[in-house]
Amino acid sequence: MLRITGKIYTGLIDPATTDAVLVSDDGLIAAVGDDAKRGDAREIVLGDRVATPGFIDAHMHLEFIVQQLMHLALDEVRSLDELLERVAGRAKDHPIEKPLIGSAWDEADWPEPTIPTRETLDRVAPDHAVALRRICGHLWVVNSKTLGLIAVRDDLTEAQRERLKAVAADGVLREDDIDLARPLTEPTREELAERLLGAMRHVLTFGATCIHDVGRIAEAAAALDEKTELPCRLVLAVRPAQLDENALAGTSKRFSGRRIHPGPVKLFLDGSIGAQTAAVSDPFSDDPGNTGQLLWDEAELEAAVERYHAAGLQVALHAIGDRAIDQALEVYEHVLARHPREDHRHRIEHLEIVRDEQIERMARLGVIASMQPNFVGRWQGPGGLYAMRLGERRDALNPFRSILDAGVSLAFGSDGMPFGPLYGIRSAMNHATPGQSLSFVEALHAYTLAAAFAGRIDHLTGSVEVGKHADLLILSADPTYHPHPTIANTLLSGRPT
């Protein structure tokens, strides 16, 4: 038995704290509060430290970490010239037969926010196939060698060949066009499996005991879970291509395991603010006339969501711009009217450019808001990316307080931009827009119990309550009063990680 005493945040809004938790030898929480102070147990006295539930990132792509572990990391590049220097340097000793892949560059951080092009990449690496993924994943840039390799593929549709001609001028791929280059950049199954374990160990160092992976790793993670004990818990979202349309109800069994849990079916309704492809009502300030992209015909989207909903599945719709959010809510409302279902837990991912009446509609429908507070810390301040793309509209983005006050369930994740729950929590506590900040207790709840609820695992983890797994953190200081605490210890089912 293990007893932890001191200030312990529960992950609940009320009671927000307790002063003792008892962990049984099977890794479950046996008692909380006064009941936890009885009997013999090995004891950890917190002193000035505090304990919390383990963080649950409700929206993350572990393959992005895999890419950064395998390829050229460009997240710290601060200019186009520096990016080109990094590519040229890597090209000197990179095998000519292997694509040179870079990831996580963000021109919004540069003094001159210029997107690289085919021509600029050709100058520094003419003999290599180069593909560089922007941090949002909704925009890639490739060079002439890569375009040539795409052109000789025999699996391209006529529509894709037409798109290839359109993007060849500058080598910039957005949204569906990215599928032209994706097969050239994906790791082998063996590489992915090996690096996924490293990515999971990496997120644990940030205190994340569970990740909702919304990328493309479901099969690889399920295979790993059968072979070995995963370092952290995973909620696995799937894409339509990963589903057997004739056996949708079997999806939950397929992605259930020791530390894996079936997540939602994820569909993209629009793009991103950074790539200027989010579907907005008013044009982007720095691209007049551009109102982004809606990626689905509404009737086709409704038919897809209805199939998944009727099969008992959860759905997560990526919708950043207000036009995409309108489409998501319209579809959810129609489907739920025809097929009422208690506790459906359907989600909207990102929900950045959202209007008050849309928030009220979400509350009526019981739709979960899955949002990224780190976006506020990174891009929503004066002079940041959102001011560049949206002008004065930036103040209305990511209205966390309005969402909570409306009674909408708010789950936090990072999307890996950057990954780091403590950074996200601090960003929510110091929101760039007056009146939209959260307290530490509220932000922690969004990054723990509400995220567990969004992943349908709140009966297992996410809060300090009897019967749940003892997924716990010890922080060096109380984040309510100290801006930069560190992770002192992480427990998964009561065991140090």
Cβ pair 415, 59 in contact under 8 A: yes
Token pair recorded at residue 242: 């990963």
In 42-156, at which residue ranges do the beta strands (DSSP E only) sit? 42-53, 55-60, 72-73, 100-105, 130-134, 139-142
Q: Cα separation of 30 and 8, whole Å?
A: 15
Helix (H/G/I), strand (E/B), else coil: 288: coil
3-state secondary structure 336-385: HHHCCCCCCCCEEEECCCCCHHHHHHHHHHCCEEEECHHHHHHHCCCCCH
pLDDT band at residue 187 under the 50/70/90 scheme: confident
pLDDT band at residue 290 under the 50/70/90 scheme: very high
Q: Are 171 and 33 contained in the same domain? A: no
Amino acid at site 206: F
Q: Are 108 and 231 contained in the same domain? A: no
Q: Are 312 and 446 contained in the same domain? A: yes
Amino acid at site 211: I
CATH code of the domain containing 128 = 3.10.310.70
pLDDT at 65: 87
Average pLDDT for 436-460: 98
Q: Are 470 and 401 contained in the same domain? A: no
Q: Cα separation of 488 and 43, whole Å?
A: 16
Helix (H/G/I), strand (E/B), else coil: 423: helix
Q: Are 357 and 247 contained in the same domain? A: yes
Q: Cα separation of 207 and 456, whole Å?
A: 20
Helix (H/G/I), strand (E/B), else coil: 26: coil
Average pLDDT for 282-293: 96
Residue 102 has pLDDT above 80, yes or no: yes
Strand order in the sheet with 17-23: 29-32, 17-23, 2-9, 42-53, 472-475, 487-492, 495-496
Q: Are 150 and 180 contained in the same domain? A: yes
Q: Cα separation of 401 and 407, whole Å?
A: 10
User: How far is CA 388 from each of CA 375, 382, 393, rounded to the nearest angstrom?
Assistant: 14, 9, 10
Average pLDDT for 108-119: 93
Cβ pair 266, 239 in contact under 8 A: yes
Q: What percent of the chain has pLDDT above 90? A: 91
Q: Are 391 and 333 contained in the same domain? A: yes
Q: Are 475 and 426 contained in the same domain? A: no
Residue 408 has pLDDT above 90, yes or no: yes
Q: What is the DSSP letter of 186?
A: P
Q: Are 67 and 164 contained in the same domain? A: yes
Which pLDDT tens digit goes with each residue over 189-233? 777 888 899 999 999 999 999 999 999 899 999 999 999 999 999
Average pLDDT for 146-157: 93
Q: What is the DSSP letter of 180?
A: G
pLDDT at 188: 78
Tokens 């960003």 found at: 427
Choosing from 185, 211, 245, the residue where a domain stops is 185
pLDDT band at residue 186 under the 50/70/90 scheme: confident
Choosing from 157, 185, 213, the residue where a domain stops is 185
pLDDT band at residue 76 under the 50/70/90 scheme: very high
Q: Are 119 and 261 contained in the same domain? A: no
pLDDT at 13: 98
Which residues have a Cβ under 8 Å from the Cβ of 350 and sit 6 or more positions away? 59, 318, 319, 320, 370, 371, 372, 415
CATH code of the domain containing 414 = 3.20.20.140
User: How far is CA 407 from each of CA 7, 205, 334, 362, rounded to the nearest angstrom?
Assistant: 28, 33, 21, 9
Q: Provide the β-strand partners of residue 25.
A: none
Choosing from 137, 170, 185, the residue where a domain stops is 185
Q: Are 161 and 196 contained in the same domain? A: no
Q: What is the pTM of this model?
A: 0.91
What is the domain count for the chain?
3
pLDDT at 189: 76
Which residues form the domain of 160?
Answer: 63-185
Q: Are 271 and 350 contained in the same domain? A: yes
